[in-house]
Amino acid sequence: MAHIAQLGHSIGRFEDETLVIDTAVFTDGVLFGSTLHSDQMTMVERLSVQEDTGDLLVSWTTNDPNYYSEPLTGSQRLQSTSQKIIQYDCVPGSPMSDQQY
């Protein structure tokens, strides 16, 4: 029996300066919260950097004919930070470290 990824199979491509990611072959389940989806769901995500601000714009469109009569859509703008990136030494199953950053 073939293994199907729960979060789907994705293929990306560039359209000009935008990364477009097409995802399909989801396993039936819950997309987020209580939003159900079937194995017929498809998703298209678009990621682009805004030239004037450097912000990352992420938008998505999800279709699932088994649950929804219209596409689900959304977007999010992510801003860069000037804060220092620190190493996170996560060791599963171990107590939290007393290290101060």
Q: Is 70 left (phi over 0), alpha (psi -120 to 50) or beta?
A: beta
Per-position pLDDT tens, the chain of length 101: 444 457 789 999 999 999 999 999 988 888 777 778 899 999 999 999 999 999 999 999 999 999 999 999 999 999 988 888 888 877 777 665 444 44
Q: What are the residue ranges spanned by the domains of the chain?
A: 9-78
